[in-house]
Structures are given as C-alpha cells and as structure tokens.
A = this chain, B = another copy of it.
C-alpha cells in the first residue's frame, strides 16, 4: 500500500475514489519528471532549440503540483474548483507530452517525461469521469 493510499484509508471522510488516489500519484510523478526534464533540457548542447519544451515542462510541473494538493483535500466542498483544476492539468499534460514526444528519439529524458505526462493526462480524464 502506498502512503497516498494509507492517508486516504485513515481520513475521517469515507469512500474516496480510487481514480482520485491514482490521479494524485500520477500528478506527483509527472511534476517531478517535468522539473527533471526542464533541467535536463537546460543541460543539453542544443538548449536553444528546447525553449518551448522547457517552458511546457515548467508550467506542467506547477500545475501538477497544485492538482495533487487540491485532489488530496477531502474536507469541505470545492467541487467546481476541483473540476476546473483537473481540466487545466489535463491540458497542461497534453501540451507538455506533445512537445516532449517530438524530442523523444533524441533525448531519452523527453521520452520518459512524455510517458509520465500521458499517464497523468489519462489519470486526470479518469478522475474527471469519476467525479
């Protein structure tokens, strides 16, 4: 059992969705992968050609971090915000994946990051469907 699942299980609010727990995990992995990919792109000789990739990585990391936090909270009511944040995260992940995929053949860090983004995009879609 992951710490995410343990924290869900021990929360006073009952019956939280598996799709939301999976989405938190996907957001945390994607945020870290995007911060790492921005940093790895910056270290590449061809950094000047990777500006949009670095930009989308940085934006996606910020959005995923926020989404993981909003999804983690179960107390009180904020459904409209949760929905809008998940939608923004789905878009940020899709935009970042699209860019990273263009560099995946040349830079393995872009390939790994694109996969994390696609998993998170999918997890956001499933979390939205489960709301």
Picked from B12, B47, B59, the residue with its CB within 8 Å of the CB of A81 is B59
Give the residue among A2, A60, A95 with the most B Cβ atoms within 10 A. A95
A56 touches B76 (CB 8 A): yes
If over half of A's interface residues share one DSSP class (helix, strand or loop), that class is named, otherwise mixed; here it is helix
B66 touches A95 (CB 8 A): no
Interface residues on A, range: 35 or more
A42 touches B81 (CB 8 A): no
A40 touches B63 (CB 8 A): no
A32 touches B28 (CB 8 A): yes
A52 touches B66 (CB 8 A): no
B65 touches A35 (CB 8 A): no
A116 interface residue, CB < 8 Å from B?
Answer: yes
Interface residues of A (CB under 8 A from B): 2-4, 6-8, 10-13, 24, 28-29, 32-33, 35-37, 39-40, 42-45, 47-48, 51-56, 58-63, 65-66, 68-70, 72-78, 80-85, 87-88, 91-92, 94-95, 107-109, 111-113, 116
